[in-house]
Amino acid sequence: MSFDLVIRNALITTSEHQEMGDLAVTEGKIASIGQVSGSGARELDAKGLTLIPGLIDTQVHFREPGMEHKEDLESGTRAAILGGVTSIFEMPNTNPTTTTAEALQDKLNRSNGRAWCDYSFFVGATTDNINELSQLENLPGSPGIKIFMGSSTGTLLVGDDDHLRQVLRHGRRRAPIHAEDEFRNRERKALISDHPHPREHPFLRDAESARLATQRILSLSQETGRPVHVLHVSTADELPLLAEAKRKELGTTCEVTPQHLWFYAPDCYDRLGTFAQMNPPIRTSEHQTALRQAVYEGLFDVFGSDHAPHTIEEKSQPYPQSPSGMPGVQTMLSALLTLAHQGLMDIQTIVRMACENPTRIYGIANKGFLKVGFDADLVLVDPKKQATFERSMVVSKCGWSPYEGAEFVGWPIHVFLGGQHIVSDQALVGHQSGRPIEFDWK
């Protein structure tokens, strides 16, 4: 039998097992796994490399339209594919915000022919589009409705329980939540010092703000029967609430970012200043330790980068005028592989949380698994490669990374999208062939 592509001698890795073998691709789909006896029009010897599914990053901010000086759909997806991310879910806090069918279609149109990886776009809930949300969540090219409980762009704030309850009742798909208590955050702004420093950020947007918001949204989820996905969990305080919601079988899922596992306060603020500023904040080592333990124990479902770039000039403004957010889609896999090398997890955990679980949680069609018939979105990783991540490697338009100078152990070497070789030896060799992600959640 002849195939379009055969990858030989790889350590084929899923969340459940690892074994040496081959993988064959025909017409963009995985055609055979194991000992492939046929030949390929193209063959690649992957000896020494680990084969995993392409990562699915379910939280990125690519800034287009309206803020293309920070990032755009071409540069953001280019950073993604070079980092081993073959599918992205982009957030609605652009300008204009993605709160209508027309705005969603505009993003899909902008991506056509420009995206290096596959893509989809959340629609944002507002107090104005509540009655349309049931229809908006079903539109092609969208994974559903994103809810901001903490301040964001334009009208993308649903802060009070009455409106949150209405939003949750207008739809059925699992809703991702930015869980910070807007009312507490506003009150605490008055506590800023006379000479502000970025290390005040986790004090002003404190752990109680996150705990309160998570408690409120889980209560409303139980009341309405609408499952929620709590994004970028940053505190030890939220973990018992999430564990209890799972015990109650509310359909609750949750995400942790590499940066909340990697950095801690006050060290990161002393070293990086405003470049460590994000929402919710990087917190103390006590919170970091609790998050790491929760990863080890399997509480978290998903890794997401929360890639949120701003320019060096913007981030260099004095706190609190400086914007919150940092790039991360390009470095997510290497950061996670390095944490695995340090013993926090194994690579099978990365596959489960960054490939398979996003597919399960959002009902993605034919992605996230190394199975016959699934899209041949593939990454060959060298788990032993050690190299320093330098500013010169940054692909994002923002031009910087909080991981500059980090010694990563584990790098994506080859990346395939739908069987097409897009990245070879860590360099782009393919073309912009990204397509809208399809969903089969019903």
CA distance 255 to 244: 16
Residues 6+ apart with CB under 8 A from 279: 150, 178, 180, 205, 324, 325
Contact status, residue 20 vs residue 11, Cβ threshold 8 Å: yes
Contact status, residue 174 vs residue 442, Cβ threshold 8 Å: no
Q: What is the predicted pLDDT for the residue at 430?
A: 95
Three-class SS state of 244: helix
Q: What is the predicted pLDDT for the residue at 441?
A: 76
Residue 125's nearest CA partner among 140, 105, 108, 142 is 142
- Say yes or no to pLDDT of 192 above 90: yes
- Stretch 62-85: mean pLDDT: 98
Full DSSP string of 310-373: --HHHHTSPTTTSPP-B--TTTHHHHHHHHHHTTS--HHHHHIIIIIHHHHHHTBSS-SS--TT
Contact status, residue 11 vs residue 50, Cβ threshold 8 Å: yes
Q: What is the predicted pLDDT for the residue at 152?
A: 64
pLDDT bucket at 373, cuts 50 / 70 / 90: very high
- What is the identity of the amino acid at 234? S
User: Which stretches within 191-319 are classed as H helix?
Assistant: 201-204, 207-224, 239-247, 258-262, 267-272, 285-297, 312-315
Contact status, residue 368 vs residue 86, Cβ threshold 8 Å: no
Three-class SS state of 37: coil
Residue 25's nearest CA partner among 49, 44, 48, 9 is 44
- Say yes or no to pLDDT of 344 above 80: yes
Separation of CA 2 from chain center: 36
- Stretch 74-91: mean pLDDT: 98
CA distance 84 to 116: 11
pLDDT bucket at 442, cuts 50 / 70 / 90: low
pLDDT in tens, 163-173: 999 999 999 99
- Stretch 129-136: mean pLDDT: 98
Q: What is the predicted pLDDT for the residue at 150?
A: 86
CA distance 437 to 439: 7
Residue pointed to by tokens 């592989």: 337
Contact status, residue 254 vs residue 280, Cβ threshold 8 Å: no
Residues 6+ apart with CB under 8 A from 227: 174, 175, 221, 250, 251, 252, 253
- What is the identity of the amino acid at 118? D
- Say yes or no to pLDDT of 91 above 70: yes
Q: Please name each of the domains of the chain with its CATH number.
A: 54-362 (3.20.20.140)
Residue pointed to by tokens 């918001």: 213
- Say yes or no to pLDDT of 157 above 90: yes
Where is 69: in which H helix or E strand? Answer: none
pLDDT in tens, 266-306: 999 999 999 999 999 999 999 999 999 999 999 999 999 99
- Say yes or no to pLDDT of 151 above 80: no
- Stretch 38-56: mean pLDDT: 97
What rounded mean pLDDT belongs to the chain?
97
CA atoms within a 13 Å half-sphere pointing along the CA-CB vector of 164:
29
What residues form DSSP beta bridges with 409?
386
Distances from the Cα of 103 to the Cα of 69, 140, 299, angstroms: 20, 13, 35
CA distance 234 to 293: 13
Q: Which two tokens stand for residue 17?
A: 């097992």
